[in-house]
Structure 1
Amino acid sequence: MTRVVLASASPARLATLVAAGLEPEVVVSGVDEDSVQSHDAANLAAALAQMKCRTVAAQLNDPDALVIGCDSVLAFENGILGKPDDARDAAMRWRRMRGKSGILHTGHCVRLGQREFVETASTVVHFADITDAEIDAYVATGEPLRVAGAFTIDGLGSAFVRGIEGDPHNVVGISVPLLRDLVADLGVAWTDLWVRRPS
């Protein structure tokens, strides 16, 4: 069975892969995300995913390990939003985003030995026009401080997203359909990565 390693500390990415039938190891890259700069959100997400993937692959030094790196950023009003700096920043963002839309870009990098593929998935997110009280209550939970764009669709923030256009998994942080395509490019069948559990 192929060794699958997720180069991300995101519990949501791990849970998504587990729900999709995989049991990846988690190895956090520890890279300095601020060292990568770009004015293009999709390119920034891809570059960060690639850096995480390559860093973990080098640490493992296992040519048989399939390493998956991901990173997400939100493109909103000609700006790029990663994780908020603090609670005040998260609240300010939500006051700007409410009732509007942004594009969540998630970079994906897969590596097996010396072969590597990188691609970005993009999903339009429509935010609900929520009240100041709702924003303050949401920020107080701490959830928006841990995620790109200061929102989730798989947690408390789900009530504040009125719709999306594209792959919902991508908004969680990892596009399973895109990942299947990238793994196939490496010559690995997605179904071979499923962990068979006795019924």
Structure 2
Amino acid sequence: MKVVLASASPARLSVLRAAGLDPAVEVADLDEEALLDGATGATPAAKVTMLASAKATTIARRIADTVPEAIVIGCDSMLHIDGELVGKPGTPEQAAERWKAMAGGRGELVTGHAVLRTADGGIDRAVEGHAVTGVRFAEPDPAELGAYIATGEPLVVAGAFTLDGLGGWFVEGIDGDPSNVIGISLPLTRKLLAAVGVRVTDLWESD
């Protein structure tokens, strides 16, 4: 059975590879801002899960006619802090503002997950879920923060930080699943795979 990751995130791919899978990567070209604008009033968990589902559904439909049977995994992560849901900052200025708000505080990394199983040219089964991990941030001094932002890493990741990269120096601790902070919760994904009739250990064997 082919496994497809509906995400361009190298961190998610790395987590899955380290955990025994070697998925193909297909990226869905979605207007995420427009989707979020249409979800006014939804909870943070509902918003990220909606994005994950949209990614996975787009890819499942794309490959259903050419791949006899596949598992498509979609994820989307955002940081919920001070009542605001934030994604990738995009610019050094935005990253600096984010870190001013985050330093010495605590946020929740919320990741939506969708697992779809394709068969006979269509989507056979689909399940969704989300995982939340608390993150306690350090207080980098101005020189440290400037150097970190200059690397470009915080500009392209949810919440302007990583746990498994340079940003890990500025995370005091986490409360919950560490793989979720990196971008995909292994415990939740295992449960979602089981819900569509797939044991994760069978995917190890096929790989």
TM-score (norm 2): 0.92
**What is the CA-CA distance between 1:96 and the residue it aligns to?**
1.0
Structure 1 counterpart of 2:106, from 101, 104, 112 = 101
How many equivalent residue pairs? 196
Question: Which of 130, 133, 138 is 2:148 aligned to?
Answer: 138
Q: 2:69 aligns with which of 64, 80, 84?
A: 64
Q: Deviations over 1:157-179 (max 9, x none)?
A: 00100000000000000001110
Q: Distance in 2 between matches of 1:195 and 1:145?
A: 37
- State the match for 1:14 in structure 2: 13
Structure 1 unaligned spans of 5+: none
Q: Does 1:53 align with 2:56?
A: yes
Q: What is aligned with 1:29? A: 28
Q: Residue deviations 1:115-174, cap 9 Å, x none?
A: 100000000000001212111110000000110000000000001000000000000000
- Matching residue's letter, 2:72: V
1:88 and 2:93 matched: yes
- Taking the aligned partners of 2:114 and 2:167, their CA distance within structure 1 comes to 27
Residue equivalent to 1:192:
202
Name 1:122's counterpart in structure 2.
Answer: 132
**Conserved? CA contact 1:82–1:148, under 8 Å:** yes
Cα distance in structure 2, aligned partners of 1:133 and 1:59: 46
Paired residue type of 1:9: A
Shift of residue 9, structure 1, vs aligned partner: 0.2
- For 2:100 and 2:83, locate their aligned partners in 1 and report how far apart those are by CA, in whole Å: 16
What 5-or-longer segments of structure 2 have no aligned partner?
A: 119-123
8 A contact 2:44–2:85 mirrored in 1: yes
CA deviations 1:16-57 (Å, max 9, x no partner) are 000000010000011111122244211111000000000001
Q: Specify the SS of the correspondent of 1:116.
A: strand
Letter in 2 for 1:55: T
Q: 1:174 aligns with which of 184, 188, 191?
A: 184
CA distance in 2, matches of 1:89, 1:195: 44
Correspondence list, 1:35-46, <5 A: 35-37=34-36, 38=39, 39=41, 40-46=43-49
TM-score, L = length of structure 1: 0.95
Q: Percent identity?
A: 51
Would you say the 8 A contact 2:154–2:162 is kept in 1?
yes
Letter in 1 for 2:47: L
Paired residue secondary structure (1:84) = coil
Distance 2:164 2:189 in 1: 19
Partner of 1:153: helix, strand, or coil? coil
What corresponds to 2:121 in structure 1? Answer: none
